[in-house]
Amino acid sequence: MNIALIAHDKKKELMIQFCIAYKGVLQKHVLCGTGTTAKLVSEATGLEVRQFLSGAQGGDQQIGARIAHNEIDMMLFFRDPLTSMPQEPAVSSLLRLCDMHNIPIATNIATAEVLVLGLERGDMDWRDIVNPK
């Protein structure tokens, strides 16, 4: 599975801790992420994470394009609901693309845990039918 990782600044440490906790599951998949998030996760975990631009510089759009081309199977997007973001339209666009293309998305750690545990259990195997490799 191809998994996108995105985290707002105040949620980056949470993303790192999540990826450390679920490294055993995540290392079996192809990971990508926006700029700093990808770099920090890779450095902290040793996981290989393909790095796109930062979200503010277009990384959200790069991941959005991959979603539109059926190249992302799941997104973990730890959002900060308490901080106003100038790139909020890009965030809304990503969420809309996930809905349009039936991409499971977690916007908080609770949902991310459900998705990753389901991934480990095989609940995401239907994506292999939609996106054969």
What residues are annotated to the active site? Answer: 60
Backbone torsions φ then ψ of 106, nearest 5 degrees: -115, 130
**Count helices and strands in the chain by DSSP H and E runs:** 7, 5
CB 132 within 8 A of CB 121: no
Tokens of 28: 């079996």
Beta-carbon contacts of 60 under 8 Å, excluding residues fewer than 6 positions away, are 6, 34, 87, 90, 91, 93, 94
DSSP letter (8 states) at residue 56: G
